[in-house]
A and B are shown apart, each in its own frame.
Chain A
Amino acid sequence: MNIIEVQHVTKEYANHKALDDVSINIPKGCIFGLLGPNGAGKTSLIRIINQITGPDAGQILFDGQLLDQSHISRIGYLPEERGLYKKMKVGEQLLYLAQLKGLSQKEAMDKLKTWFVKFDIKTWWDKTVSDLSKGMQQKVQFVSTVLHEPDLIILDEPFSGFDPINANLIRDEILELKQKGSTIIFSTHRMETVEELCDNIALIHKSKKVLDGPKREIKQQYKTNTYFVEYRGELRMDDNLYALEGVRELEEGYQKASIHLLGGITPNQLLGDLVNQVEIRSFGENIPTMSDIFMKAVNEVPEG
């Protein structure tokens, strides 16, 4: 079951196309990474899902229904450019934002109390936002994003501006929200975050979707049938089994080689061959990192 189905969405601005026939499915209960270089069209897509702007063509389904105003209270959105009313008090501001998302004053109050205890920020209630540090403001804004317990949480570069301790805190909260059944969309170009947290990804480049699916499947798809071996000794090539792609000197006479297997050859055959030649320290498959995949996918797209 998908919480969001983006179907053939196109969005054009005066002088450029922001999204060109993009279709993406976002399954319920996953952490979804929306990736792409700057200016690829991520923010445009997020704004369309948030109903800040509308698509020129195509449609969006939310939980199987055509996206409409009633879904607004089921979405929480943390934009990349964080912003709060600078001269408003923290408590009042959070109450206001929560009420705009459809909570009653009392519900909002109860939920806020829980969060203020959880984040240990009770003393902030009567402070003016401009008196808080940037990191503190980020925390307040995170609370405002998730307070109404939305089914879908959209986070645009959520970790930017947090120190490592607070980043961990937020990461744990995100995982907890996922446990509770929320779906989380990450828009980011930080590949470590994607590697660590995301279950599914979509990659947008130059207004087009170039790649999407579960992270593991994509990694499989991008595997090049290459293995690495760290060894000592003389490695002799067997052109019928494999091709040596590169050798790098390590410390204490060890070397690390990257080996591409030819079709139909199993890793065991390779290992059997290697054992006879050199002293092996470690051996494993080269699994592409998200960063590799990102670079590769982006570079594969023809210019223009």
Chain B
Amino acid sequence: MRNIFLVIKREYLVRVKKKSFVIMTILGPLLFAVFYAAVIWIAVGSVELKTVQVVDESHLFTNEFKNTESLKFTYLSAPIDSAKKGFQTSGANALVYIPKDVIKEPKSVRIYAAKNVSMELKSGIEDVIEKQIEEIKLSEAGITHKILEDSRVSVKSETISLSETGEKASSSGAATVIGGICAFLIYMSVFIYGTQVMRGITEEKTNRIVEVIISSVKPYQLMMGKIIGVALVGLTQFILWIFLTASLSSVATSFMSDKMAKEAKTVTEMQQGMPANGMPGGNVPNPVEEVMGALGSLNIPLILSCFLFYYLGGYLLYSALFGAVGAAVDNDADTQQFMLPITLPIIFSFVFAQFVLRDPDGSLAFWTSIIPFTSPIIMMVRIPFGVPAWELALSMVLLVLGFMGTIWLAARIYRVGILMYGKKVTYKELAKWIFYK
């Protein structure tokens, strides 16, 4: 036990003292904060003034298109043909043509633009026209504006999770974000730290120090010491990241709050300008605030402890396999042939995660979150949405059995592999090593 502790200590200290560790620890949250700031910046900063020319032959839409911070509508009295000719030189971004008989033929509306117009602009314009035609048709049928207003009932639903602890508000938006982040972090860390274990083992082997070490330490202890040491490095990095990210993003948030207030105003204006959105104006929640608020509704302690469990479980499962590869080959270049079968399930689980995010209770989600090779990533996607306790327990038990299995397997390969030099190893040979006495 003393020896395994010494090995863990060395593996941990050697890595933590490295410059690259320090740099990654500081750079990680910085990158995250920059990313976070950039997302908000883009969301806010895309408010770029676009000019839209309108040729309204029906004369039904005069002043119906409201200018907003990002859109400026100008009405042309010229016929469409000359407007089209003048469009190139006018500097406008789009030209909307509404023909005379638009009420009879609503599909005859055309939007001309030099480039493709955004979906947002297209649907905004369509909404205004639809709305106006609708109103005209309604008033022709004798329904006044007043009746219409009264008949419009706004229904807004809130998702409520039902559980033994009672009702609580949940937000599938926040769950999606958290699930995605957790899955990504586990995906990255399994790769990064798994390959670190592999490199470490190959390094010891090519340096030939391994023979000296295993004359004092059992191969199993050396392997486990390395795996645990690197796991602790990962945990240290996560804890520092969480801490640094939290402080950095609070700085970024306060810096951005002005911009965000402005953005909320723009959103409100847009919606007032285009009343077809169906919501009575004014009561528009800021989407960022909504996510932040919804975070509170998630079971953060459960998510954090599950994250730690699945990070460790997934890491142990895969790093053992990576370690076995490291022991089987002579140098980094030879690892390729054995890497593929190990990395495939990790990559697949990351791909599946995208589908599971959309359907967290489907059968794909169920099976992939139970099977140990995919469960560390998939289960973390599902947990923020809520998972039945028995599924979680089953998945955890299987993951523990899974990593115990891969560690056993790796140890069998390791003890033979580390002393084997100058031989191109095949799968057949690896299988033989497993069954050596």
Contacts and interface: CB of A to CB of B under 8 A. Distances in A.
A118 B32 CA distance: 54
| Most chain B Cβ neighbours within 10 Å, of A52, A85, A88, A101 | A52
B432 interface: yes
Which A-B residue pairs are the 9 nearest by beta carbons?
A83-B208, A83-B209, A81-B208, A100-B216, A50-B215, A77-B215, A79-B211, A83-B207, A101-B216
B215 A84 contact: no
Contacts of B217: 100
Contact of A52 (B14, B203, B204, B211): B211
Contact of B211 (A14, A54, A81, A86): A81
Contact of B209 (A52, A53, A84): A84
20 contacts: A47-B419, A50-B215, A52-B419, A53-B419, A54-B437, A72-B215, A72-B216, A75-B215, A77-B215, A79-B208, A79-B212, A83-B207, A83-B210, A84-B207, A85-B207, A85-B209, A86-B203, A97-B213, A100-B217, A141-B212
Contact of B214 (A52, A85, A86): A52
Interface in A29-61: 47, 50-54, 56
A6 to B, nearest CB: 17
A226 interface: no
B387 interface: no
Nearest to A84: B209
Contact of B213 (A14, A73, A100): A100
A282 B85 CA distance: 123
Interface string B204-232: 10011111111111000000000000000
A96 interface: yes
B6 A99 contact: yes
Contacts of A200: none
Interface string A254-268: 000000000000000
A96 B10 contact: yes
A183 interface: no
A52 B215 contact: yes
A97 B210 CA distance: 11
Contacts of A73: 216
Contacts of A77: 211-212, 215
Given A84-B207, A100-B6, A144 B419 contact: no
Interface residues of B, number: 21
B58 interface: no
Contacts of B10: 96
A14 B212 contact: no
Nearest to A101: B216
Given A84-B207, A88-B14, A100-B217, A144 B212 contact: yes
Contacts of B211: 52, 77, 79, 81, 83
A134 interface: no
B3 interface: yes
A50 B7 CA distance: 19
A88 B17 CA distance: 11
A141 B208 CA distance: 12
A52 B212 CA distance: 10
Nearest to A56: B437
Interface in A102-146: 141, 144
A101 B209 CA distance: 15
B6 A96 contact: yes
Interface of B: 3, 6-7, 10, 14, 203-204, 207-217, 419, 432, 437
Interface string A67-90: 000001101010101111111100
A57 to B, nearest CB: 11
B207 A86 contact: yes
Nearest to A87: B14
Nearest to A12: B437
Contacts of A72: 215-216
Contacts of A81: 208, 211
Contacts of B7: 100
| Most chain A Cβ neighbours within 10 Å, of B7, B207, B212, B437 | B212
Given A56-B437, A72-B215, A86-B203, 7 more contacts: A47-B419, A52-B214, A72-B216, A79-B211, A79-B212, A82-B208, A100-B6
| Most chain B Cβ neighbours within 10 Å, of A56, A82, A88, A100 | A100
A121 B56 CA distance: 93
Interface in A156-174: none
Nearest to B205: A83
Contacts of A88: 14
A101 to B, nearest CB: 5
A50 B213 CA distance: 11
Contacts of A50: 215
Nearest to B206: A83
Contact of B432 (A14, A51, A83, A86): A14
Contacts of B213: 97, 100
A84 B206 CA distance: 10
Interface in A173-193: none
Contacts of A86: 203, 207
A199 B437 CA distance: 36
Contacts of A51: 215
A136 to B, nearest CB: 16
Contacts of B203: 86
A54 B10 CA distance: 27
Contacts of B216: 72-73, 97, 100-101
A13 to B, nearest CB: 9
A63 B236 CA distance: 46
A108 to B, nearest CB: 11
A97 B213 CA distance: 8
Nearest to B437: A56
Nearest to A144: B212
A144 B212 CA distance: 10
Contacts of B432: 14
Nearest to A97: B212
B286 to A, nearest CB: 51
Contacts of A96: 6, 10
A185 to B, nearest CB: 13
A32 B326 CA distance: 36
Nearest to A54: B437
Nearest to A79: B211
Nearest to A85: B209
Interface string A204-223: 00000000000000000000
Nearest to A100: B216
A112 B208 CA distance: 23
A179 B105 CA distance: 112
Nearest to A88: B14
B192 to A, nearest CB: 19
A163 B58 CA distance: 102
